[in-house]
Amino acid sequence: MRRTHGLAALAALALLAAACGPQQPAAGRHGATSGQPANAAAPGGFTLLATGDVLPHTEIIEQARKDAHGSGHDFRPMFAGVRAPVSGADLAICHMETVYGADGGPFTGYPAFKSPPQVAAALRATGYDSCSTASNHTLDDGAAGVRRTLDALDAAGVRHAGSARTADEAARPTLLKAGPATVAQLAYTYGTNGIALPDGQPWAVGLIDREKILTDARAARRAGADVVVVSLHWGTEWQQEPDEQQRTLARALTSARTGNRPDIDLIIGTHAHVPQAYEKVNGTWVVYGMGDQLAGYMYNPQGAVDSRGNQSSMARFTFAPPAAAGRRWTVTRAEFTAQLTDVDHAFRVVPLTAAAPRGSAHARARDAVREVVLSRGGAEDGLRMTG
* Cβ neighbours of 70 (radius 10 Å): 6
pLDDT attached to residue 24: 54
239-263 pLDDT, tens per residue? Answer: 999 999 999 999 999 999 999 899 9
* CA 186 – CA 305 distance, rounded (Å): 33
3-class secondary structure per residue, 334-359 = EEEEEEEEECCCCCEEEEECCCCCCC
* CA 91 – CA 181 distance, rounded (Å): 10
pTM (2 decimals)?
A: 0.91
Count of residues in the chain: 387
Is residue 180 reached through a cis peptide bond, with omega within 30 degrees of 0 on the bond before it? Answer: no
CA angle 189, 204, 149 (to 5 degrees): 90
Residues 6+ apart with CB under 8 A from 371: none
CA angle 195, 200, 206 (to 5 degrees): 55
3-class secondary structure per residue, the chain = CCCCCCCCCCCCCCCCCCCCCCCCCECCCCCCCCCCCCCCCCCCCEEEEEEEEECCCHHHHHHHHHHCCCCCCCCHHHHHHHHHHHHCCCEEEEEECCCECCCCCCCECCCCCEECCHHHHHHHHHCCCEEECCCCCCCCCHHHHHHHHHHHHHHHCCEEECECCCHHHHHCCEEEEECCEEEEEEEEECCCCCCCCCCCCCCCECECCHHHHHHHHHHHHHCCCCEEEEEEECCCCCCCCCCHHHHHHHHHHHHCEECCEECCCEEEEECCCCCCCEEEECCEEEECCCEEEECCCCECCCCCECHHHHEEEEEEEEEECCCCCCCCCEEEEEEEEEEEEECCCCCEEEEECCCCCCCCHHHHHHHHHHHHHCCCCHHHHCCEECC
pLDDT tens digits, the chain, 387 residues: what are they?
A: 334 444 333 333 333 333 334 455 755 454 333 333 445 576 789 999 999 999 999 999 999 999 999 899 999 999 999 999 999 999 999 999 999 999 999 999 999 999 999 999 999 999 999 999 999 999 999 999 999 999 999 999 999 999 999 999 999 999 999 999 999 999 999 999 999 999 999 999 999 999 999 999 999 999 999 999 999 999 999 999 999 999 999 999 999 999 989 999 999 999 999 999 999 999 999 999 999 999 999 999 999 999 999 999 999 999 999 988 889 999 999 999 999 999 999 999 999 998 999 999 999 999 999 999 999 999 999 999 998
* Cβ neighbours of 163 (radius 10 Å): 27
Q: What is the CATH number of domain 48-385?
A: 3.60.21.10
131-167 pLDDT, tens per residue? Answer: 999 999 999 999 999 999 999 999 999 999 999 999 9
**Structural domain boundaries in the chain:** 48-385
* Cβ neighbours of 42 (radius 10 Å): 13
Q: CA 240, 379, 281, 231 torsion: positive or negative?
A: positive
Q: Which of 167, 174, 164, 79 is nearest to 128 (CA)?
A: 79
Residues 6+ apart with CB under 8 A from 299: 1, 2, 3, 4, 305, 306, 309
* CA 39 – CA 32 distance, rounded (Å): 9
Whole-Å CA distances, 372 to 68, 82, 368: 36, 21, 7
* Cβ neighbours of 336 (radius 10 Å): 26
